[in-house]
Amino acid sequence: MTGKDEKARRKEILYSQREEKRRLVREGLPVSAPMMKALFDYIDEHLSSAECAHSLRHASEFIHTNRLPKEAIIAWLVKAGGYCDCEAIINAQELLEDAVPGYQDLLPPDGVPG
């Protein structure tokens, strides 16, 4: 195998691994990607007017208001590095943005404030 062929093979392996990681993120979501985006938008909006309280207060408010599975969503956020509202925006949202094609264009589900 030439150096060029080996480089192309390695590049394809890396691409496949990245795509598999993205697929696993999408499949592991506790609710739909549009609902997760609505959650992050809610948190971001509330953090723009106040500092982070180093808790998932705003996330919990959104989850409660929209009757979502709290334990599953909080566990997903924590696993993605979102231990508080600001880290949810910095870490968990970034993970989702990378995993979901067209993430920025997702609209909130019907009945969820956007």
The 10s digit of each residue's pLDDT in 32-88 is 999 999 999 999 999 988 888 999 999 999 999 999 999 999 999 999 999 999 999
Query: Is 110 a domain residue?
Result: no
Query: Is 17 a domain residue?
Result: yes
Helices 70-79, 57-65: inter-axial angle, 10-degree rounding: 150
Query: Is 113 a domain residue?
Result: no
Number of domains into which the chain is organized: 1
Query: Is 85 a domain residue?
Result: yes
Query: Is 73 a domain residue?
Result: yes
The pTM score is: 0.86
Query: Is 35 a domain residue?
Result: yes
Which domain does 72 fall in, by range? 3-105
Taking CA 20 as the corner, what is the angle to CA 23 and CA 99, rounded to the nearest 5 degrees?
A: 45
Query: Is 114 a domain residue?
Result: no
Query: Is 112 a domain residue?
Result: no
Higher local confidence (pLDDT), 16 or 89: 89
Residues in the chain: 114
